[in-house]
Amino acid sequence: MLKFAEFSGQSGNSNQSALSRAEQAYSRLRDAIHAGDLKPGDRLIEEKLGRMLGFSRTPVHEALARLESDGLARKDPSRGMVVVEFDASMIAELYAVRETLEGTAAALAARHASEGEIIALKQIADRDRGLSQDPKRLASNNRIFHDALYRSAHNRYLLKTLKALYESMALVRTSLAYNPQRIKLTIEQHQRIVAAIERQDSKDAEELARTHVRDAGKARLALMFGIQDEISGARRKK
């Protein structure tokens, strides 16, 4: 099911010593989900996880309850607690909400991003090019880009909502949806979004961000249904 070698027993993070056991268990299980070590549909058995983590069942139980509250785990009638599995309708709903929120974030960033934040966004977007042959690292850089975009909006409530939404994105293996055409389009779209933010064009920034998320959602659904991703021919902003 899961190799806990990286984080069973002792952790190299000194900050964890100050955390409660429940918090440590939550953090480790959440990290395992984000890394793909715990996959959608995997059973989360308290006793087994407790042995692997080196904790009693009580902190593991609390950690699983928190994962369930976050939408990362759910109770299955026949299998017990499992990592949430997304079906096509759930993915479509997730991307629909993300499209609206990220469009708003980009529009706000065009109005409120500082010079330093714009420079950071440029650097992150430029880093995409060097990762074009490594989908996993590109997906990681993509998360960094979107996190920087959210922060550049300077709206604490939107940031909190988007960060919670992105927790669910951990269950959608976005790196799997990357092919050469998708990679090229993603790089281009990030560059266009940053350019619109830099020239303080909130309308264009919002439209570009919405298109970017919409295309990503279509690519992920295409992968789920095993069909060829044709998003490479998506609308291009001139």
Task: List every span in the chain annotated with CATH 1.20.120.530.
Answer: 88-233
Question: Is 60 exceeded by the pLDDT of residue 17?
Answer: no
Question: Is 90 exceeded by the pLDDT of residue 13?
Answer: no
Q: What is the mean pLDDT of residues 30-51?
A: 88
Task: Label residue 171 by pLDDT band (50, 70, 90).
Answer: confident
Which pLDDT value is given to residue 19? 62
Task: Label residue 7 by pLDDT band (50, 70, 90).
Answer: very low
Which pLDDT value is given to residue 201? 98
Q: What is the mean pLDDT of residues 180-206?
A: 95
Q: What is the mean pLDDT of residues 192-205?
A: 98
Which pLDDT value is given to residue 29? 93
Question: Is 90 exceeded by the pLDDT of residue 164?
Answer: no
Task: Label residue 9 by pLDDT band (50, 70, 90).
Answer: very low
pLDDT tens per residue, range 132-158: 888 888 888 998 999 999 999 999 999
**Do residues 167 and 127 touch, judged by C-beta distance below 8 A?**
no
Give the residue with greater pLDDT, 24 vs 36.
Answer: 24
Which pLDDT value is given to residue 227? 55
Which pLDDT value is given to residue 220? 84
Q: How does the average pLDDT of the chain come out, rounded?
A: 85
**Fold of domain 88-233:** Four Helix Bundle (Hemerythrin (Met), subunit A) (1.20.120)
One-letter amino acid of 190 = H
Task: List every span in the chain annotated with CATH 1.10.10.10.
Answer: 14-83
Question: Is 70 exceeded by the pLDDT of residue 162?
Answer: yes
pTM of the model: 0.74
Give the residue with greater pLDDT, 77 vs 13.
Answer: 77
Task: Label residue 2 by pLDDT band (50, 70, 90).
Answer: low
Which pLDDT value is given to residue 222? 83
Task: Label residue 84 by pLDDT band (50, 70, 90).
Answer: confident
Q: What is the mean pLDDT of residues 7-31?
A: 66
CATH 3.90.1170.50, applies to 14-83: no
Structure tokens at 174: 């976005």
